[in-house]
Amino acid sequence: MIGFVLYGAAAVAILMFVLWLIHLPMHNAAIVDFGWAFGLGMLGVGYAVFGHGWWVRSVILALMTGIWGTRLSIFLLLTRVIGHPEEGRYQELRRQWKTNLPLKFLLFFEFQALLDVVLAVPFLLAARNSTDVLSPLEYAGVALWVIGYLGELVADAQLARFKFQPENKGRTCQWGLWHYSRHPNYFFEWIVWMAFATFALGSPHGWIGFLSPALILYFLLRVTGIPATEEQALRSRGDEYREYQRTTSAFIPWFRTS
Residue 69: enclosing H or E segment and its boundaries? helix 55-80
pLDDT, position 59: 98
pLDDT at 170 over 90: no
Nearest-angstrom CA–CA distance, 111 and 113: 5
pLDDT of residue 5: 87
pLDDT tens readout for residues 88-118: 889 888 999 989 999 999 999 999 999 999 9
Mean pLDDT of 229-242: 90
d(CA 98, CA 184): 33
Question: pTM of the entire structure?
Answer: 0.93
Dmax (CA) of the chain: 57
What kind and span of H or E run contains 239?
A: helix 239-247
pLDDT of 162 higher than 90: yes
Share of the chain above pLDDT 90, in %: 86
DSSP summary character for residue 207: G
Amino acid, res. 118: V
Tell me the per-residue pLDDT of 2-27, one tens digit each, with 9 for 90 and over.
777 899 999 999 999 999 999 999 99
Quote the CA–CA distance of 150 and 185 in Å, as a whole number: 10
User: In this structure, which amino acid lies at residue 183?
Assistant: H
Q: Please check whether residue 28 is in contact with residue 86, taking contact to mean a CB–CB distance below 8 angstroms.
A: yes
The arithmetic mean of pLDDT across residues 177-195, rounded, is 97
Calpha distance 94→110 (Å, rounded): 17
If one counts every other C-beta atom within 10 angstroms of the C-beta of residue 150, the result is 12
Helix (H, G, I), strand (E, B) or coil at 189: helix
Q: Which amino acid is at 238?
A: G
- Please give the Cα distance from 109 to 215 (Å, whole number): 18
Per-residue model confidence (pLDDT) at position 87? 86
